[in-house]
Chains A and B, each alone.
Chain A
Amino acid sequence: EAGVTQSPTHLIKTRGQQATLRCSPISGHTSVYWYQQALGLGLQFLLWYDEGEERNRGNFPPRFSGRQFPNYSSELNVNALELEDSALYLCASSPQWGGDTEAFFGQGTRLTVV
């Protein structure tokens, strides 16, 4: 069974541009989480989608947005890129909303803003 897949693996953008990151959850999983891991920091919660709806949002500016498609895959968009947006962006999926279940992570997208 395929795990969580993220694309692209690496992304280099110029300050002010937009970045789009993609995530395909494990088959059957309806919840998708996005996290940012900047250098020296832990996993900062960005966004949580379940059944196509945004369930919760972390403490990030509105230029971080996303969506979840009918097939449960998800997209994270970062507008007006800033240098400090350079980080590893991790996507995770879980089988259900709430409940006792772990989330499974993809390998991440390394975003570099120059």
Chain B
Amino acid sequence: DQQVKQNSPSLSVQEGRISILNCDYTNSMFDYFLWYKKYPAEGPTFLISISSIKDKNEDGRFTVFLNKSAKHLSLHIVPSQPGDSAVYFCAASARAGTALIFGKGTTLSVSS
């Protein structure tokens, strides 16, 4: 079963607008959530994370929101830039010790 789900395979946004990428999880043991960005033929690079004790974390243009009751998190990118075009992966882990589990990714395309 898929413990981390990214239900939108792709998202297209215009430069300067907001990009919202969504992620749902099923395992209630997860308490640490991360977003990674991946370009073709490269390894994923860490973008931003959030602990389950918070509901929001900001880093520049990137903000992650966590709704624990809904088991849902989202990544907001404002304003979106063409260089943000990449595959974005949501990931989750548990302090009790689970591996980092990834969603299938969402391909973001930002047009100028």
A interacts with B: yes
* Size category, B interface: 20 to 34
Count residues on chain A whose CB falls below 8 Å from chain B CBs: 27
B36: A residues at CB distance < 8 A: 105
Interface check A90, CB cutoff 8 A: yes
Instruction: Please tell me if the beta carbons of A41 and B104 are within 8 angstroms of each other in the complex.
Output: yes
Residues of chain A from 42 to 87 with CB closer than 8 A to chain B in the complex: 42-43, 45, 48, 55-56, 58
Q: Report B50 CB to chain A, min CB distance, Å.
A: 9
Instruction: Please tell me if the beta carbons of A42 and B104 are within 8 angstroms of each other in the complex.
Output: yes
Q: Report B37 CB to chain A, min CB distance, Å.
A: 11
Interface check B59, CB cutoff 8 A: no
Task: Name the one of B95, B97, B98 contacting A100, with C-beta atoms under 8 angstroms.
Answer: B95
* Interface-side segment among B11-19, B41-49, B68-76: B41-49
Quick one: closest B residue to A56, CB to CB? B99
Instruction: Please tell me if the beta carbons of B43 and A4 are within 8 angstroms of each other in the complex.
Output: yes
A43: B residues at CB distance < 8 A: 44, 89, 102, 105
Task: Name the one of B6, B46, B101, B102 contacting A102, with C-beta atoms under 8 angstroms.
Answer: B46
A107: B residues at CB distance < 8 A: 41-43
A106 and B49 in contact (CB under 8 A), knowing A42-B104, A92-B100?
A: no
Interface check B51, CB cutoff 8 A: yes
B85: A residues at CB distance < 8 A: none
- Complex Cα distance, B45 from A103, in Å, reads 9
Task: Name the one of A56, A88, A110 contacting B98, with C-beta atoms under 8 angstroms.
Answer: A56
- Complex Cα distance, B105 from A88, in Å, reads 15
| Complex A-B: 20 CB contacts under 8 Å | A33-B100, A35-B102, A42-B89, A42-B102, A43-B44, A43-B102, A55-B97, A55-B99, A56-B99, A58-B99, A92-B43, A98-B94, A98-B95, A100-B95, A103-B100, A105-B36, A105-B43, A105-B44, A107-B42, A110-B41
Q: Which A residues are within 8 Å of any B CB, using their own CB? A: 4, 33, 35, 41-43, 45, 48, 55-56, 58, 88, 90, 92, 94, 97-100, 102-108, 110
Q: Which B residues are within 8 Å of any A CB, using their own CB? A: 6, 32, 34, 36, 41-46, 49, 51, 89, 93-105
